[in-house]
Amino acid sequence: MKIPSAAHELKCYHTWMGADGIARTRVKKNAVVTLEDARENSILVNSFFVDEKFPLLIDSRGIQSISREARAFFTANGRDTNTIAFAILIDSAVSKVVGNFFLGINKPAVSTKLFLDEKEALQWLRNL
């Protein structure tokens, strides 16, 4: 995922709204994501459209770790979010197995799917 010059740079993320109406966030390489980082990125993502819902593509390939609190926060349960779906890019079949297990335990409030391929993830988001 190429990061455009207009992307917002946060401690653990580069985040932007695509011209296609799909928000994108790319985790920085070796990021250790805390609850504070999760909140910071979510505030930014929700600021893209105040009165309109949109999908979010998350490139998590390269993340070092994410705290339990941040994972729970990202499920969007019990909080306001402008996102209608999360497509999460991962980097291996093993990550997909682990990720699907996590999604089974921590059910997100919006449709969420894991992908190894960015084009497939974008197609899924466009077809919602």
Distance CA 84, CA 48 (A): 13
For β-strands 32-33 and 13-17, DSSP reports them as: unpaired
Indicate whether 28 belongs to any domain: yes
Indicate whether 1 belongs to any domain: no
Distance CA 7, CA 16 (A): 5
Indicate whether 26 belongs to any domain: yes
User: For the whole model, what pTM was predicted?
Assistant: 0.89
Indicate whether 2 belongs to any domain: no
6 CB-side CA count, 13 A: 7
Indicate whether 3 belongs to any domain: no
Looking at the 3D structure of the chain, how many domains does it have?
1
What mean pLDDT value characterizes the chain? 90
Domain that holds residue 103: 8-126
Indicate whether 32 belongs to any domain: yes
Distance CA 87, CA 24 (A): 10
Task: Check the CA dihedral 82-86-90-94 and report its sign.
Answer: positive
Mean pLDDT of 110-114: 91
Are 99 and 62 within 8 A, CB to CB? no
Q: What is the CATH number of the domain that holds 19?
A: 3.30.750.24
Distance CA 57, CA 69 (A): 21
What confidence tens digit (pLDDT) does each residue in 16-45 have?
999 999 999 999 999 999 999 999 999 999
Are 76 and 56 within 8 A, CB to CB? no
Give the confidence band of 3 by pLDDT, cuts at 50, 70, 90.
very high
